[in-house]
Structure 1
Amino acid sequence: MYTTNNNYKEAQLLSDRALAFMANHDLIPNPINYAVTYHYVSNDSTDLKSAIEKKLNNNGQIDNVFIECLFNEHICAAQNIETFILSPFEKTLTKTLKKIDAQIVNEKEIAFNLRKVNKALNQFTQHKPLKSLISFIINLISNSQSQRKSLTDELTHTYAEVNLLRTQLNESRDQAAEDILTGLLNRRGCQSKLQSFDLSKTHSTIMIDIDHFKQINDGFGHTVGDKVIQLIASIIKKSITADDIAARLGGEEFIIVMNNKPTKVAELLAEKIRASVEKLKLLQKHTNTYLPTISVSLGIAELNEKESWESLFDKADRAMYQAKKLGRNRCVVIEQSLKPA
């Protein structure tokens, strides 16, 4: 089980402990290693913590391969990765790089002053031991600066990895909200988009179901069935505005939510989609056989004051089934039948 730490100072402390653990075990400071060690030091995952402690108790090596396995097993599917992992990690990187930069500046100033002293001592042979000590210190500083530059370069590269991971997470979120077959939103994506709609305004919805779709699948195969779904999805996409939502709820069922538009506007759109689908002429190439006329049944409803989305969708669904009962290939507004096409 994972918890979100909202205390910045505590989160920063945990970030520092995570980086220290990584340094002690020679782990590369990348987002995956950081994520696992952060969860370990914060005790957010009992199973993950037990796995690491078992490895340590058996004198096992905590290496990058082991950490990646823990990441895939315990963290990959966790929620809020960006908020919980990437942001604290990025803040810690910034803080660390600033400290390194400040230290390098101080060391450069010290080295410069020591070289001045060293140059002055060249004139006095009796200070040879002191001169040797100063030269030794200068060399130490030079080596330290070189090591810090290497670390800075590595941490800077890690920034790129963090940004890449953030991009991948955003892409994953988008894919999780999208229906793979049609490119429309799926049920989850639809619910997410609805959060931006103002419930105090007038919204309408259209529930769409392909008529006799099972006969298409059984008679022509699922590949043809998928093609029919894609073509109808394309018609829906081209018919709505950027303010509206279109989603595939599953199987042969679709939904449109029209933002700030009344039922009359939804009726016009529904009829446009119905007519466009009816005009489709589909030929199965390897049999040279035309499919029967494709049609859809559409149910239309409007969101009333203080009504929930679930209630609205239920009304549209009932209107759609009413269209089926009336003979299919038609649009029905809830509790009001439109004339057959």
Structure 2
Amino acid sequence: MSDQEFMRALGYANAAFDLLKRSGIPPYPQFYELLYTYATGVNPTLNNRINTIFRNGAAPSQDLVETLYNEFLKSDVNDRMSSVSERMHARIEAVHDAIDAAMTTANAYSGSLQSATGDLEHELSPEMIRQLAGRLLAETRRMQDTNSELERQLESSRDDIAALQRDLDDVRRESMLDPLTKIANRKSLDEGLAEAIREAAETGAPLSLMLVDIDHFKTFNDTYGHQTGDQVLRLVAMTLKSNIKGKDLAARYGGEEFVAVLPSTDMEGAVIVAENVRKAIQAKELLKRSTNEKLGRITASFGVARFHPTDNAMSLIERADRCLYAAKHAGRNRVVSESELVELGGGGSSASAA
């Protein structure tokens, strides 16, 4: 973790503990997690709820904080996975029951055929033959009915399993997306970056990483409100995603920071992508949706690093973070690559001025 990221995380932690202390709420892990999440601003609905409480002159009580935690942070992904698992288990049990019934009927039918074979070895009267034929016909119809039920169960199971697979895919997709910006979240970033590093190390193909930080976001957020701030975050996320392609991955890193993982892209290509994103963000004029008030334009700073054979995810991110820090201190609204660090004197890193 770079000094800049450490200081940012420490600031969130201090803000969370301050809220716990001021509200007289015990610093249990789940309550700390809730207010730490509030401090980062990554869950806009949660922030709006807590901001409303503060605006009304109240402080969140322990009971209210527990309610908010259960509503916003107690993940329903596991519950949904459990539901899918239960449905899958029920469907498999139904198929097993149908197969068992079919096997029982088949065994009985086989026994009837063997018995009939034995009977036919003896001389039978016409009446006995008629009774034997009637018994075999009834057994055959029972066998047909059982097979039809098995076919119905298998057909139904095929449709149910396809629906369950879709549900599992939906749960997985939701668990990998940032709820506000609808681009990859930190979990998805960690997995995607690890895979990109593994592939680059094995093939020798280039890999670049781009860090993006919205300039003066806190001031903008405080001035125009969190809803407008959320609009800015969505705009930057959309702009970043629309300017990458193929196997590239756009993710929200935390707060007002974003990351783009750029496989098969060398430093020169990554800088071009970063410049395109920077110009696209700067070109967009913001409107406050509630009033159509023109809020001007926003800018962002960029740090670009390339993968080295000795890199892991942390070292690559730290180097991009130093580049981002250099871009901030070189005037913001610019792209700095690691090859420029020496020229700009940005070899170190400390807390960033947003």
TM range (shorter): 0.5 to 0.7
Secondary structure of the corresponding residue to residue 200 of structure 2: coil
User: Displacement of 1:288 after TM fit?
Assistant: 4.2
**Does structure 1 conserve the Cα–Cα contact (< 8 Å) formed by 2:303 and 2:322?**
yes
Contact 1:281–1:290 (8 Å) recurs in 2: yes
Structure 1: runs of 5+ lacking an equivalent:
1-71
Question: Residue 21 of structure 2 aligns with which residue?
Answer: none
The answer to whether the 8 Å contact 2:94/2:153 transfers is no
Distance 1:160 1:101, change over 3 A: farther
Structure 2: distance between partners of 1:151 and 1:93: 8
In the other structure, the counterpart of 1:191 is: 190
Deviation of the 1:253 alpha carbon: 0.9
- 1:198-217 aligned within 5 A: 198-200=199-201, 201=204, 202-217=206-221
Identity of aligned residues (%): 27
Partner in structure 2 of residue 173 of structure 1: 172
For residue 329 of structure 1, give the secondary structure of its aligned residue in structure 2.
coil
1:254 partnered with 2:255: no
Q: How does 1:1-341 map to 2 (within 5 A)?
A: 77=81, 100=102, 107=109, 124=126, 127=128, 131-132=130-131, 135-136=134-135, 138-197=137-196, 198-200=199-201, 201=204, 202-334=206-338, 335-336=341-342
TM-score (norm 2): 0.60
Structure 2 residue identity aligned to 1:124: P
- Indicate conservation of the 8 Å contact 2:210/2:260, yes or no: yes
SS at match of 2:258: strand
Q: Tell me, what secondary structure is at the counterpart of 1:282?
A: strand
Provide the C-alpha distance between the structure 2 equivalents of 1:178 and 1:132, rounded to a whole number of angstroms: 69
1:301 is displaced (CA, Å) by 0.9
Matched residue of 1:291: which SS? strand
Structure with larger RCO (C-alpha < 8 A, sep 6+): 2
What amino acid is the match of 2:263? N
- What is the CA-CA distance between 1:183 and the residue it aligns to? 2.7
Equivalent position amino acid for 1:208 in 2: V
User: Structure 2: which 5+ residue stretches go unaligned?
Assistant: 1-75, 345-354
- The CA distance in 1 between the partners of 2:194 and 2:109, in whole Å, is 54
Compared CA separation, residues 186 and 157, structure 1 to 2 (3 A) = same
Q: Which whole-Å CA distance do the structure 1 matches of 2:244 and 2:78 have between them?
A: 41
How much does 1:194 deviate? 3.1
Contact 1:100 1:152 in 2 (8 A): no
1:238 is displaced (CA, Å) by 1.9
Q: What SS does structure 2 have at the residue aligned with 1:306?
A: coil
Deviation at 1:311, TM superposition (A): 0.7
- Alignment RMSD, CA only? 4.2
TM-score by length of 1: 0.62
How far apart, in 2, do the equivalents of 1:204 and 1:73 lie?
32
Q: Which residue of 2 aligns with 1:41?
A: none
Shift of 1:318: 1.9
Q: Distance in 2 between matches of 1:74 and 1:307?
A: 34
Secondary structure of 1:207's aligned partner: strand
